[in-house]
A and B are shown apart, each in its own frame.
Chain A
């Protein structure tokens, strides 16, 4: 597979707004959304149901036209066919005609990209284990199998920008593993991936940056690459301690972020400081029951961003 040029792979979304109109009713689906994705980056979109994630991805692909703002795929507007030459898109629901099999679906999409069927299709099918059932009509295949076909079609080419809407939906663990490997290999070639998902663990494993979308607004963006340099250390004490006494503790390379009953959360300057935290607590008379190193607590960040209790 060829290397992907840095200039081609950039995606930028600037002050994008969109309103859905149903007769006289209007609903603001996106409000002033801005972000950019640099080459080689995996970008995650998180938000509650109806937050506008799919709408935003449809705008990026050119299926929806925003009312305001600009989107650039490799420097071009998504409405321009050439901008979609380097694009792979997996919609939240794979659409196909009644007669299509997995093989004919992939074959058609390869030809629409200007590729010949054959190696290109076989490689994409093998990447997601599609060949075992690719002669079966798509209307008779399961949700997970459809998802595999959709992922294989999205990675045909290969594209430099991958847009995946709920890619793990319906996938079994081996399918999720294949997806993870495919995204990592795409990133290693300098490709951009944008993923919308509710699977927070999966996103925290794959993404370099995560954006929180709620009610059409981009609430927060977190760069996980920077956070993973300063991991969290969650410590459970055997008995509750006085928070004032705990704040007086001076542990080199660690700072206390939160005290919640028996649970303490430290922020470490480096991973090696974890041992110093346990030693410091025990020396100060706080017996430790368990401890866990976390790159980032995405679930907590999600609830904070969307204002959940």
Chain B
């Protein structure tokens, strides 16, 4: 990976007005209920903020990852980078890594107001655990978006991912309801592989049991998807639309 491109990507993603607005809205969404309820409903707060935090991570990942590589292909920036002494796979993985780092920074900032507001009802350990899970989850979404963006236009990739998520949930629910438990599990596993989900880390960080199957699927997805994206970009014959 190229440090210069990672740093550039991090700077680019953390200076975008759209992303900062999403962060501000996310922070308000997290902090406001916490500020209103911590005195009398601390138990409810501790239980509910974590799911809001995970949703924020997913929304931010979708915003940061829209057109992850496809946008660079469309605006011609990729041409300039590939003409430099770097492999195409390095360009791909550096853009991906820079975006994951930016997501991590956004999520860190989003969580910080909770510390004073919750007045100790949310422990440091729990906060850190939630941050790790959110980043792992977001990294999985970004990995899927990177691959999709190579063939789809910006936001088409986001739409495709949302449709895939909704369809797989619907199918899985239907199969479970009709008693096809194994088929439902297969759909679930396939979904975890194609959009790696970091929730396996949650139990681990809180001292619970480790879900080895989910961890394995996550690891496999996180190795396969970026590697596949880098390979597709390397094999791509035309990087520019030449008249």
Contacts and interface: CB of A to CB of B under 8 A. Distances in A.
A80 to B, nearest CB: 9
B12 A99 contact: yes
Contacts of A29: 242
A65 interface: yes
B238 A64 contact: yes
A190 interface: no
Interface residues of B, number: 29
A82 B240 contact: no
B84 interface: yes
A95 B77 contact: yes
Contact of A87 (B5, B11, B76, B83): B83
Interface string B4-25: 1100100110011000000000
B85 A96 contact: no
Interface string A252-294: 0000000000000000000000000000000000000000000
Contacts of A54: 242-243
Contacts of B2: 112
Contacts of A82: 85
A84 B79 CA distance: 13
Contact of B76 (A61, A94, A111, A153): A94
A84 B85 contact: yes
A147 to B, nearest CB: 14
B72 interface: yes
B179 interface: no
Contact of B242 (A64, A96, A104): A64
B15 A91 contact: no
A113 B243 contact: no
Contacts of A64: 237-240, 242
B236 to A, nearest CB: 9
Given A81-B85, A89-B83, A99-B15, A108 B76 contact: no
Contacts of B86: 81, 84, 112
Interface in B67-111: 71-72, 75-87
A285 to B, nearest CB: 54
B83 A61 contact: yes
B80 A91 contact: yes
Contacts of A93: 76
Contacts of B78: 95
A230 interface: no
Nearest to A153: B80
Nearest to A29: B242
B238 to A, nearest CB: 6
Interface in A94-122: 94-99, 104, 108-109, 111-114
A111 B82 CA distance: 14
Interface in B211-243: 237-240, 242-243
A114 B16 CA distance: 27
B80 A95 contact: yes
A114 B3 CA distance: 10
Interface string A189-204: 0000000000000000
Contact of B80 (A55, A85, A98, A109): A109
B4 A91 contact: no
B243 A50 contact: yes
B240 A91 contact: yes
B87 A81 contact: yes
Contacts of A104: 8
Interface string A119-137: 0000000000000000000
Nearest to B2: A112
Query: Which of B11, B75, B76, B240: most chain A CB closer than 10 A?
Result: B240
A40 to B, nearest CB: 22
A87 to B, nearest CB: 7
A112 B5 contact: yes
A69 interface: no
Interface of A: 20, 29, 49-50, 54-55, 58, 61-65, 81-82, 84-85, 87, 89, 91, 93-99, 104, 108-109, 111-114, 153
The 3 closest A-B pairs by CB, nearest first: A95-B76, A111-B4, A112-B84
7 contacts: A62-B83, A81-B85, A81-B87, A85-B85, A99-B12, A108-B8, A113-B84
